[in-house]
Amino acid sequence: MAGTNIIEVRNLCKNFGNLQVLNDISADFKEKQVVSIIGPSGGGKSTFLRCLNLLETPTSGKIIFDGVDLCSKIDINEQRQKIGMVFQHFNLFNNMNVMKNLTVAPMRIKGMDKEEAEEKAIGFLKRMGLEDKVDSYPSQLSGGQKQRIAIVRSLMMEPSVMLFDEPTSALDPEMIGEVLDVIKQLAKEGMTMLIVTHEMRFAREVSNRILFLDGGKIDEDRPAAEFFDDPHSPRLISFLQKVL
């Protein structure tokens, strides 16, 4: 069951030069909630997600994470430790094997000792069915394996929230399921997640709530079942007719 607010977005705007990509967005996200963010390309989905941990700096507005205004003068790196991010293109270090990819940040940033970090990494890899890849390099892994390793890398930092930016869009179709299964398991375990996705069936199955972002604004924000079964916005109705 979703609990108290962990992220509060207030009047968020983001411009790139004269182009307004996000236009006065306000929304709250609760602990243990899984929210999918869908919409047409160019609607602002990825920019919105990247603003939540200040990978993109908002032009104006507030992002309050666990009571802290991320847009004020704070140590953003300290806060980012609590916000895991999984990217479309994995972003693994190609010159490091899997174990090194998983342990370098916990050891360097959280001060975890090598033995503890490696034990933790092995535990996660076993859960993913990837313990035999511990010494492999990214170039030796499939796309689905890379993305599962990228998810583990975020989990190693023990985040309060996980952000997924189109985690399956760079994968071959047969690899999508293995990544979505990991995300479904995290949802069952109560991880708070915001997921930008084009996978409508997955969004419906895993989400408590879905946002439809179009033209830099939230056009509809509903519980998952209502979102698909009884859409209100004409723009959303048109979008769903094309993608379902």
Q: How confident is the model at residue 1 (pLDDT cuts 50, 70, 90)?
A: very low
Instruction: Give the long-range contacts of residues 130-135, CB within 8 A, separation 24 or more.
Output: 130/98, 133/98, 134/97, 134/98, 134/99, 135/97, 135/98, 135/99
For residues 171-197, average pLDDT: 92
pLDDT of residue 78: 87
Question: To the nearest whole number, what is the mean pLDDT of the chain?
Answer: 93
Q: At what angle do helices 114-128 and 98-109 cross, to 10 degrees?
A: 130
pTM equals 0.93
pLDDT of residue 2: 52
For residues 199-212, average pLDDT: 93
Three-class SS state of 202:
helix
Distance CA(51)–CA(61), nearest Å, equals 11
Distance CA(174)–CA(172), nearest Å, equals 6
For residues 130-144, average pLDDT: 96
